[in-house]
Structure 1
């Protein structure tokens, strides 16, 4: 449980550090922005709508939710808002790139940390784990494909894409695949297989 909470808090903080860099948001944020512009709704409403839409894809994949699914919705946004209050906006271009690099690595690390706690995926990570399980493709391939598709769709809908968006889309999958096996909690053999990282 501690690993789950730390992972979610760290993930929310890292997402906000990336936003503060001003060099491009994460792929899912680009999609939410594009949906917001297309439908004429707020960014928060679009984010929730995207989350619901992604959760619906879990049904045919038979992906299981858990405590981590619920806490993801409750904790990540709060952690991001808190981070925005305490972390200053970088004053120089060099510092903006430092923020970006730290954020990209931290997003992948904390994503793997909370997934490795084995309490269930958040909406977007459940899509990844479900597709990994169904396709038997490596995490790096599936995650990269999702990030690229989501960023592209968000851009087509009017979301803002930056160098950080492209960087995260390309390296998120490989980084998660490096971190996840090292951070996954080992469950007893009788544990539900759907909760184990692929």
Structure 2
């Protein structure tokens, strides 16, 4: 049982790290636009200062509060860890990876960033240790409207992107790509991450049983 919990936390933190790296890469390739939430975080950063990662945490707190009231359940500890660490990873990778104004470099950064965003989400959600603030909101929309995950995610992304753009965030063709591609890719990664975690848990329990 301890091993299973350890594996879940491993998946959880690995997913958050991949997610933070993906967000930082899309920020580096922002001439194409960034993810909807980052349009909002960058818009707030441009207007009010602080850092992009810190705005990610602040907005996360607000969203968690709304989702908790809507879902009538107190968020798991993992949700708070998620919110905090994604913000920290965004700022860390943003600082670590150097800026480039080259078209091709920004394009590559953006494409890899989008894939990592979706993969990171799928990996950490599969651990079931608490959805991130934005995913809690997505799940609230699913529960209230009976839409699919992909549809709920898309609606949420579009609304947030428009709000971020009005604040001065970098909206581009890439934002639209992320808004429509993220939901479907998350559905796929979630499925495979879940299977991988299940398999790892089984292998661990068999090994533990023979130990």
TMscore range, shorter length: 0.7 to 0.9
List runs of 5+ in structure 2 lacking aligned partners: 1-8, 199-211
Find the counterpart in structure 1 of residue 18 from structure 2. Answer: 10
Q: How many residues align?
A: 185
Q: Which among 58, 64, 67 is matched to residue 55 of structure 1? A: 64
- How far the C-alpha of 1:63 sits from its partner, in A, is 4.5
Cα deviation, 1:70-127, whole Å, max 9, x if unaligned, reads 2112321222233234333346311211111111011011011111110011111110
Q: Which among 2, 16, 19 is matched to residue 27 of structure 2? A: 19
Q: Which has a greater percent of helix?
A: 2
Q: Which among 152, 156, 172 is matched to residue 162 of structure 1? A: 172
Find the counterpart in structure 2 of residue 133 from structure 1. Answer: 143
Name the TM-score, length of structure 2 as normaliser: 0.77
List runs of 5+ in structure 1 lacking aligned partners: 187-198
Greater C-alpha Rg:
2
Find the counterpart in structure 2 of residue 70 from structure 1. Answer: 80
Query: Is 118-127 or 177-186 further displaced after alignment?
Result: 177-186
Find the counterpart in structure 2 of residue 190 from structure 1. Answer: none
Q: What pairs with 1:114-125 in structure 2 (closer than 5 Å)?
A: 114-125=124-135
Q: Determine if the alignment matches structure 1 residue 28 to structure 2 residue 57.
A: no
The answer to whether the 8 Å contact 1:69/1:120 transfers is yes
Q: Determine if the alignment matches structure 1 residue 177 to structure 2 residue 187.
A: yes
Distance, in Å, in 2 between the alignment partners of 1:88 and 1:46 is 21
The answer to whether the 8 Å contact 2:41/2:56 transfers is yes
Q: Which among 92, 96, 99 is matched to residue 106 of structure 2? A: 96
The answer to whether the 8 Å contact 1:69/1:123 transfers is yes
